[in-house]
Structure 1
Amino acid sequence: MPATELRAADTDRTAVAEVLGRALSEGRLTVTEYDERLAAAYAARTLAELAPLTADLPAPAPARRPEQRATYGSCGGGDLRQAWRGYLTVALVVWAVYLASSLAGGFGYPWPVWVVGPWGAVLLGRTLTTRGAPARRG
């Protein structure tokens, strides 16, 4: 079976959502494009369905070595701070779009919970497990 026909995992969808969030915050995507691609990412079943969503965006910067992250303390705290900043930025934009469209056409189903909810849960889990990591290592 080709790799592109493999089923996508939640982590694959979350990774695409993070790339899309960065592209939105950098001004590479409009809010409408971001919303459409994000919905498609969470609806994707295979890796082949995820690939085109970020194909026209620049590749993420390579991960920094651990010694370069030392300015934020141990456990990549700087990376978590940046992830939380991205999450909060996207959450604010998504809720603003929802509120603006609701004011224009009446309040409907609060779809932003499906964008910010799973992403926030994964990010919270990552934060909690990363902060507990030094005690388990040492």
Structure 2
Amino acid sequence: MAKEVVRRTETDTMRAADADRHKIAEQLKSALDEGRLSLAEYDDRVRDAYAARTYGDLVGLVDDLPRPGTSAAEVAAQRAAEDRRLARKLPMALMVLWTVWGSLAAVNLLAWFLVLVTVDSEIYPWPIWLLVPGAALGATTVGVQRIRSRRRR
């Protein structure tokens, strides 16, 4: 079983103020009013909120709750939008390869253009050969995205 890694930030260890505790208690009251928490859960969380010492303690009490007034349809729409965004995002290896290819293409085009304007004779357009690895990279990207979209279904 994989362990979940919890990263503590500097903010999580900072001391919370009474106003912060009260704000979390209000958010818990809204969740109770909307039926997201039972009365027993609400009592436990409010007690823990007023006993909390750090922001990390406070955030842990409400991180499983949506913003007050958010409906289930809005939560589902947000989740679907996040899933679509993640599906469009390229894997890091492809992002690196596209960056390298783009940089090489830009340098070659600039060099070819500088040679073209400084030499009186016609110059062979060697940067056109960069279309071959660009096409291969494009085909790989399309293939990877299709595989990823099939896995998500």
TM-score range, shorter chain: 0.3 to 0.5
TM-score scaled to structure 2, two decimals?
Answer: 0.38
Which protein shows a greater Rg?
2
TM-score scaled to structure 1, two decimals?
Answer: 0.42
* Greater length-normalized contact order (CA 8 Å, ≥ 6 residues apart): 1
